[in-house]
């Protein structure tokens, strides 16, 4: 299994600011990485796949970048509704085994 390490654990920012979340893989995963958003009491929602592609209906304020072992989720012009825990996820090629990072909690104050 390829471990994913997310940082920071918690991020507190104000509306209108930019959030930068990091996900590091212990081994290269090429660009096979996704980001999910989980708001309190809700199921996770796919935001970004293949490192930089936005999922259907995701605003352009959300963007992903990176390849190999280092990935970033950037959220521009933060809104209060962006308060959530964000997870990164990858899939090992074969056999398929999926792993998630431990999450970054984003607080918008």
Partner 1 sequence: QVTLDESGPALVKPTETLTLTCTFSGFSLTTAGVRVAWIRQPPGKALEWLARIDWDDDKFYSPSLKTRLTLSRDTSKNQVVLTMTDMNPVDTATYYCVRAAPTTGGNYFDPWGRGTLVTVSS
Q: Where does this chain bind partner 1 (CB under 8 A)?
A: 1, 32, 34, 36, 43-46, 49-50, 55, 87, 89, 91, 95-103
Give the residue with the Cβ less far from partner 1, 15 or 90: 90
Give the residue with the Cβ less far from partner 1, 19 or 37: 37
State in angstroms the smallest separation of the CB of 91 from partner 1: 5
Give the residue with the Cβ less far from partner 1, 7 or 77: 7
Q: Give the β-pairing of 104-108 and 10-13.
A: parallel
Hey, CA dihedral for 81, 52, 17, 9, is it positive or negative? positive
What's CA 104's distance to the chain center, in Å?
8
What is the distance between the alpha carbons of residues 62 and 55, in angstroms, rounded to a whole number? 10
The burial of 2, by beta-carbon neighbours within 10 Å (0-12 exposed, 13-18 middle, 19 or more buried), is given as: middle
State in angstroms the smallest separation of the CB of 63 from partner 1: 17
State in angstroms the smallest separation of the CB of 54 from partner 1: 12
Give the residue with the Cβ less far from partner 1, 34 or 106: 34
């Amino acid at each position: 299994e390829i471990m994913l390490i997310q940082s920071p654990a918690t991020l507190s920012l104000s509306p209108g600011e930019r959030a930068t979340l990091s996900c590091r893989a212990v081994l290269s995963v090429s660009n096979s990485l996704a980001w999910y958003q989980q708001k309190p009491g809700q199921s996770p929602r796919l935001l970004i796949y293949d490192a930089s592609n936005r999922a259907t209906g995701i605003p352009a304020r959300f963007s992903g970048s990176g390849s190999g072992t280092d990935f970033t989720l950037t959220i521009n012009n933060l809104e209060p509704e962006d308060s959530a825990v964000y997870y990164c996820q990858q899939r090992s090629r074969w056999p398929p085994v999926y792993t998630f990072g431990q999450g970054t909690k984003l607080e918008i104050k």
